[in-house]
Amino acid sequence: MNIGILGLGTVGGGVVNVLAKNQTEIKRRTNTQIQVTHAAVRDINQSRICSTAGIQLTQDPSEIVNNNSIDIVLELMGGTGLAKELVETAIKNGKHVITANKALIATHGNELLALAKANNTHLLFEAAVAGGIPILKSLEQGLSANQIEMVAGIINGTGNFILTEMRDKGRDFDSVLKEAQELGYAEADPTFDVEGIDAAHKLAILAAIAFGCELQFNKVSTEGISEISGEDVAFATELGYSIKHLGIAKKVKGEIQMRVHPTLIPKTRLLANVDGVMNAVLVKGNAVGPTLYYGAGAGDEATASAVIADLIDVIKGTVSNDVLGWKSFEAIPYQNHNDIESIFYLRLLATDKPGVLADITAIFANHNISVEAVVQKQIDEQDNAHIAIITNQVKTGDIQVAVTEIQSHDFIQEEIKIIHVETLD
């Protein structure tokens, strides 16, 4: 079986290394001799994390997708422009394609999967979501008896690594991000990691597989981690929560919601204790109940593990090209963002004068919002009170209206911070 790889960086290099170190086991499982015969790179002279002995390197990736001797193409270069053209050509040339590229699948997966199906080839992408965790196979295979009610996960390793280092070591955002880049965790454009775009790509894929619907990346409401302050982390800790960057997809009353945002999770939840580059995905099925999947969310060999699992599936013929239940996906409506119900954490900086808290709670009462918990820190040198409030479960639209009203009062000294709270019950 001849393999051509587009991209021999973190993931591509990891694939070559894992194929070499586990060759006996992989041969036993597939009864096939797998050889990486060709690889495309940008710079042929650059040093690699893997040996390139026996691999013909090229700077022209079209040589790989048009090479008749190659059976399977691994797209591990990233991006949605050239990568899409190459994947299309490979499929049209009858090759199976395996990719780790969530941006490509989330934005062009519907058409690429249809193309693969029309050409009777496989397009697989386990490594695109949650690195080494076999979450797509778990949804498609192990949980296939269930109606999936919710998928909620820490699905960006870089973001979780940054939040953990900031909380545990008091490090600053930029230096941790730099380290994540050096470790090969971050995307080519790291704003994809910190602004939640990468997690949104992954969530769109998870939701499509969980609910059997089309990929709709543009329906994911997305918020990154760059606005989380040390004060939020301290308040969350005092209130018994951890702040995690979650991707959440739920089916509520026949409608789907998909959202990526910082989230306060009770410290007692397993997800609240997933730290560093690790990812974890909580899946609730209507038969099995809650299940949790944990593992490395990024990195060379962890991601290679998922790529090679797809490769083994293709070689063994244990996949269908109907990977998303594609034939029968439903047109499921998406919930209006304002109708999404959630508990909220609010952080306010208010002038210290009598009646302020009463005014704030009166506005909440007018909008049918209950206050579940309040913490006020000592008055600062500017005579301002630092206040954190946890609400009951309310509609997103209602909290926004109430917060706008509170914000309009002159006792409020800065923009009110709003963060979702999830109990994950």
Stretches 33-41, 182-190, 204-212, 220-228: which one binds ligand HSE (CB under 6 A)?
182-190
Picked from ligand NAP, ligand HSE, none, the partner binding residue 42 (CB below 5 to 8 A depending on kind) is ligand NAP
- Residue linked to tokens 């099995």: 288
Stretches 71-79, 242-250, 318-326, 356-364: which one binds ligand NAP (CB under 6 A)?
71-79
How many other C-beta atoms are found inside a 10 Å radius of the C-beta of residue 146? 17
Question: Minimum Å distance from CB 111 to ligand HSE?
Answer: 22
Q: What is the DSSP secondary structure assignment for residue 295, as one 8-state letter?
A: E
Q: What is the DSSP secondary structure assignment for residue 122, as one 8-state letter?
A: -
What type of residue is 293? Y
Closest to ligand NAP by CB, 46 or 175: 46
132 marked as binding residue: no
Handedness of CA 306, 45, 104, 311 (dihedral sign): negative
Q: Which residues contact 121 (CB under 8 A, 6 or more apart)?
A: 91, 94, 95, 96, 97, 321
For residue 296, the SS3 value is strand
What type of residue is 345? Y
Residues 338-367 contacting ligand NAP, CB under 6 A: none
Catalytic residue among 84, 202, 250, 417: 202
Q: What are 375's two structure tokens? A: 């913490």
Distance, CA of 206 to CA of 306 (rounded, Å): 15
Question: Minimum Å distance from CB 161 to ligand NAP?
Answer: 11
- Does 202 participate in catalysis according to the annotation? yes
Picked from ligand NAP, ligand HSE, none, the partner binding residue 295 (CB below 5 to 8 A depending on kind) is none
Picked from ligand HSE, ligand NAP, none, the partner binding residue 193 (CB below 5 to 8 A depending on kind) is ligand HSE
Q: Which residues contact 137 (CB under 8 A, 6 or more apart)?
A: 126, 309
- Residue 224, interface with ligand NAP (CB under 6 A)? no
- Residue 127, interface with ligand NAP (CB under 6 A)? yes
Q: Which of 36, 73, 74, 78 binds ligand NAP (CB under 6 A)?
A: 78
Stretches 150-158, 242-250, 381-389, 404-412: which one binds ligand HSE (CB under 6 A)?
150-158
- Residue 185, interface with ligand NAP (CB under 6 A)? yes
| Gyration radius of the chain over CA positions | 24
- Residue 203, interface with ligand HSE (CB under 6 A)? no
Catalytic residues: 202
